[in-house]
Structures are given as C-alpha cells and as structure tokens.
Amino acid sequence: MVFSVFLQGSAGSAQAGRPVRPVRDSRAGRAGRGFRLVGAALTALTVAVVATGCGGDSASPAGQAADKKGSPAGADRVEPLAGQPAQRLPVTVDSADGKKVTVGSADRIVPLTGSLSEIVFTLGLGDKVVARDVTATFEQAEKLPVVTRGHDVSAESVLSLKPTLVLAETVSGPAESLQQIRDAGIPLVVVKTAKSLDDVGTRIDAVAATLGVPAAGDALKTRTESRLAAVRKDIPEPADGKKPRVAFLYLRGTASVYLLGGAESGAASLLEAAGAVDAGKESGLTKDFTAITSEALAKAAPDAILVMSKGLDSVGGIDGLVKIPGVAQTPAGMDRRVVSVPDGVLLNYGPRTDEVLTSLVEQLYAGGK
C-alpha cells in the first residue's frame, strides 16, 4: 500500500511528536482549484464514506511496499491464510439487519464492499468470489467485474453472475436492490459496518461463520490481533509529552465536498491507537462529518492532516489543499504536514489494518523509537 507523508516547510519547524519525514510533493506547482462548501451532499456522501472505507474508484494504488510474502514493490495484495479452509455448510447465521439467513453454498460469493472482499480473500476463499465493489482494489480482486459502488448496488449486475451468497454491510444499498436480490432467492447476509479497531475481530468472525469456515476465522483473527498488538507495543511517547493532533479530512474536489471528520467518522479509533489525538473529535465534533469551516479548523488546530490519496489528488495536491479556507492557518497547513493513505484501506478495519496502523505510526513519529 502507498503511505506517504508530505512535508514542505522549514526543516527547522519540525517538532518532536509531529510528522517530520520530508517527502517532496510530486504535485507541487499544480494550480489550486476553486473551493466551495456544499452542505446538501453531506448526508449521502457520509454514508458512502463509511460504506466503502472512503474508497473512490477502481484504480489500484501505485508504488506500494512489498507485502509480508515478499511481493515486489508496487503490489497491492492481501495475504491469505495458508491452505484451503475446510467448509462446513449449510449454516444458519444472524444477519445484522435482524434476519436469520441459511447459507447452503459459498461457491459463488459476491461481497458488496471492498472491506468484505478483503476478509473473504484473506480467509482463503478468493477463488470463490465472482464480483467486487469498486473499492476492492487489491491485486487478487482487480480483474473481477464491478457490480457495486458502495451505496449504489446494481441488483441486475449481481444476479447476472448467479451468486450463491451475497455479503453486504449495514450501509449497503439501496434497500430496494438488496431486497431484489433476496427476492431472487439468493442468501444475503448483512455484516455490521466497522467503526473502530474493536470491530476487526467481530467482522472476521461474522464473515467466517457465514462462509462455514469458523476455524479459519479464528486463525485470521488471532493473526490480525497479534499483529495489531505488536504495532501498538512499539508506539513511542512523543519527546515533548504532547500527542500529535491529527484532523481527518474527506475531500472530493470534483464534487466540491470538503468534510472534517468528527467522533463518528471511523478514524478516531485508528488515530488514538497510533498514539495521536483525533483533532476533530477532541474539538467537540460529535457527528461523523461536518463541512470544513475556518472556525472548525481553528478549533481543531491539527498538527497534521490525514487524507485519502485520491481525495488529495482531487483538490490538486497540497497546493490545492492549503487553499481550502482555514487549512493554511492551522499548524498542519503552515508546515504542510499531510499524511496520505490509499482510499480503499484506511477505514476497512480488517486483516490489513495492522499495515495501516504501522504506517501511521512511522509517519507520525518519523520511524518510531
């Protein structure tokens, strides 16, 4: 995965406990675009952000580091468990929408979000997946047909692939499409959307139970929790005793949407696990997202800004980001400190969350201890 800190400012302005890794902004010099706040789109976009892990399109992130199996640089891959898990079907499971669903076959699986796809592939059942959401950008899934874009499920496209099981999240929709799939007799299981690190094991358990591979689920949960614990164990204390304040901004310049994450954005748990303070949450923003204003950013006073890589591109890179009202006046804006993470992985809260957390720690503390 691609993770990079963009720091353009005086080297002498770097302070302990704040992102200090200097990386040249490849988008420097690109003209900043005009910005305007559009409040009407906030509700719909917020749902899409949560549903897709803030994914944006089907393009695979470039320049990613080698995975744990030694894949070459540039690969965006999940790391499946060794061997093919033994399935025990049929099973009857509780769907997060209150229904009981009996699954008789998992030979043709359609996960409706990239996060669910990641879990299925990592459990070792990727060869049974026949379609993907636009946010499933990892290498093993990239050639599958796209049948959904988060909150825009195409029932016709899903049904045309003759699935034996469809996996959805609580924010998948529209409801009419999901009902159409069920009316066609296809088992559809809804998994609760993740909002924090505490949801990682629960989601793995839910997917594994639905696929009839509970033992593989236990193994993956153990592996994931162990890796997360290892990362958290090595988080350094900031030299000045002050935790870095990080504001999560959701940006879609092409749609003139600029949002500041609050307590329910999904980023708070990850930032806190990395030893940082979620600046939006700490400043009193209790909702998931709110329109960016100069006043809100001044109150948040972030030392660094966390963004999705495609969101950063959509506003013209850092040159465009600092032109958003209020950004340039924050400590992060003045020092041009921006942590950029690929859209499809930041809020997945799944088998690769340890990699996301590792990168955040490395970036925020310039390589850790």
pLDDT digits (tens), the chain, 369 positions? 433 444 433 333 333 333 333 333 333 333 333 333 333 344 444 444 444 444 443 333 322 333 343 333 345 899 999 988 999 999 999 999 999 999 999 999 999 999 999 999 999 999 999 999 998 989 999 999 999 886 789 999 999 999 999 999 999 999 999 999 999 999 999 999 999 999 999 999 999 999 999 999 999 999 999 999 999 998 888 778 889 999 999 999 999 999 999 999 999 999 999 999 999 999 999 999 999 999 999 999 999 999 988 999 999 999 999 999 999 999 999 999 889 888 878 888 999 999 999 888 887 886 433
Residue 304 carries which side chain, given as an amino acid letter? A
Amino acid 311: pLDDT: 92
10 Å Cβ neighbour count for 195?
A: 18
> Which two structure tokens, joined as six digits, stand for 231?
């990362």
Bridge partners of 338, per DSSP, are 6, 305
CB-CB contact of 329 with 296 (8 Å): no
User: How many whole angstroms separate alpha carbon 53 and alpha carbon 129?
Assistant: 20
User: How many whole angstroms separate alpha carbon 229 and alpha carbon 17?
Assistant: 21
Which CB contacts under 8 angstroms, 24+ apart, belong to 29-34? 29/319, 30/316, 30/317, 30/319, 30/320, 31/316, 31/319, 31/320, 32/315, 32/316, 32/319, 32/320, 32/322, 32/323, 33/253, 33/315, 33/316, 33/320, 33/323
Amino acid 360: pLDDT: 86
Q: Is the pTM of this model over 0.95?
A: no
